[in-house]
Amino acid sequence: MNANKRIRYGLAAFAACVFAFTTSAGAEPLATAGIGVASCEKLAKDMNPAEGFSNTTNALMFYWVHGYMSAANIALLEGDSQYVDLFVMNEKKLLPLIYEFCQKNPGKKPISVIDQLIEDTDKVEGKWKSGTVPWAADDN
């Protein structure tokens, strides 16, 4: 194994250890099972938008949403060269939106409100070479 690969694997292992040992006990099931599959009932109990990123559940949810929206942007760009500006999707916008949705809809998952947000948000025109990402390209 060359030095670059050793460094890369070492950093990944270090980051995983830091994350594992610094998450609070209340958020451990969300961190290990995946926040994206958590029920709104659980999230409404664990989230507190006023605490920002000092609340582990808030942080996990925010970063999961940004990853999800980044993937959605690839599909949007591939489809019609538009995307959602993630710069405006900060914690002050996303955390209260998800928290309020989950309080009102304990039987649902937060992906529902995120999909609606993506659909409703004004898109930005972008430059994209169609076919760049095979899984996002149309079958036409």
The mean-pLDDT minimum among 5-9, 26-30, 41-45, 126-130 falls in 5-9
pLDDT band, very low/low/confident/very high, at 130 (cuts 50, 70, 90) = confident
Mean pLDDT of 9-37: 51
Mean pLDDT of 25-29: 50
Q: What is the pLDDT of residue 102?
A: 97
Q: What is the pLDDT of residue 11?
A: 42
Q: What is the pLDDT of residue 137?
A: 59
- Residue with the two structure tokens 């990944």: 12
Torsion angle, CA of 20/45/65/72, rounded to 10 degrees? 130
pLDDT band, very low/low/confident/very high, at 126 (cuts 50, 70, 90) = confident
The model's pLDDT over 8-19, given as tens digits with 9 standing for 90+, comes to: 444 444 444 444
Q: How far apart are CA 96 and CA 116, in angstroms?
A: 15
Q: How far apart are CA 122 and CA 82, in angstroms?
A: 9
Q: How far apart are CA 67 and CA 48, in angstroms?
A: 21
The model's pLDDT over 38-95, given as tens digits with 9 standing for 90+, comes to: 899 999 999 999 999 999 999 999 999 999 999 999 989 888 888 999 999 999 999 9
Reported pTM: 0.70
Q: What is the pLDDT of residue 69?
A: 94
Q: What is the pLDDT of residue 36?
A: 74
Instruction: Tell me the residue type at 31.
Output: A
Q: How far apart are CA 27 and CA 136, in angstroms?
A: 33
Six token digits for residue 115: 């999909």
